[in-house]
Amino acid sequence: MTTTIREFHPGDAPALWTLSTLPNVGRTADPTVPIELPAASAAPIQFADLADIPANFIRAGGAFLVAEQHGHPVGMGGFRPNSRGQAEVLRVRIHPALRRTGVGRALMEGLETRAAARGFQEMFLDTATNMPEAMAFYQALGYQESGRETRPDWSWTLVYYTKQLTPSR
């Protein structure tokens, strides 16, 4: 299947809200989930920045991309500047039925290309030790672990990664 990586359109939001709440731990959460996702009626409260993607990502100096197959969103992710001047990657999600098919790699390449074009020199992201597949994915893309954080009330450890970007020409 051909995957198109494109800029976010406001009409994408309801399907992306659904995608953001699908289980994201494991190689695939459920390969039987239909590709055409039902539209959520509101942004999930745990990801409040998805309620206004243009304000929280695009106008903030970043980008938000959608991976699409046959007219259906199957992946998403964005970045915005953080306090250290890095492009901080957030809300990367790939449809459970399409994990490990190259959709995530294409999405991350799109984010990195756009960040470099906006003058960023480094990407920053985090994942957690309860998602070893995500850790391996980012490492395979050239991300280097740059720190860890744990708290007594967490059952996992947060893992921070960075990647130097090739300047855009």
Instruction: List, in order of start, the domains of the chain with CATH numbers.
Output: 4-120 (3.40.630.30)
Residues in the chain, pLDDT under 50 = none
Q: What whole-number distance in Å separates Cα of residue 51 and Cα of residue 47? A: 8
Instruction: Write the single-letter amino acid at 146.
Output: S
Q: What is the pLDDT of residues 3-36, one digit of tens each?
A: 999 999 999 999 999 999 987 776 666 677 888 9
Residue 17 bridge partners (DSSP): none
pLDDT at res. 122: 98
Based on its alpha-carbon atoms, the radius of gyration of the chain, rounded to whole angstroms, reads: 15
Which tokens belong to 50? 């998805």
pLDDT at res. 27: 63
DSSP type of residue 24: -
pLDDT at res. 23: 78
Look at phi and psi of residue 76 and say left if phi exceeds 0, alpha if psi is from -120 to 50, else beta: beta
pTM value is 0.94
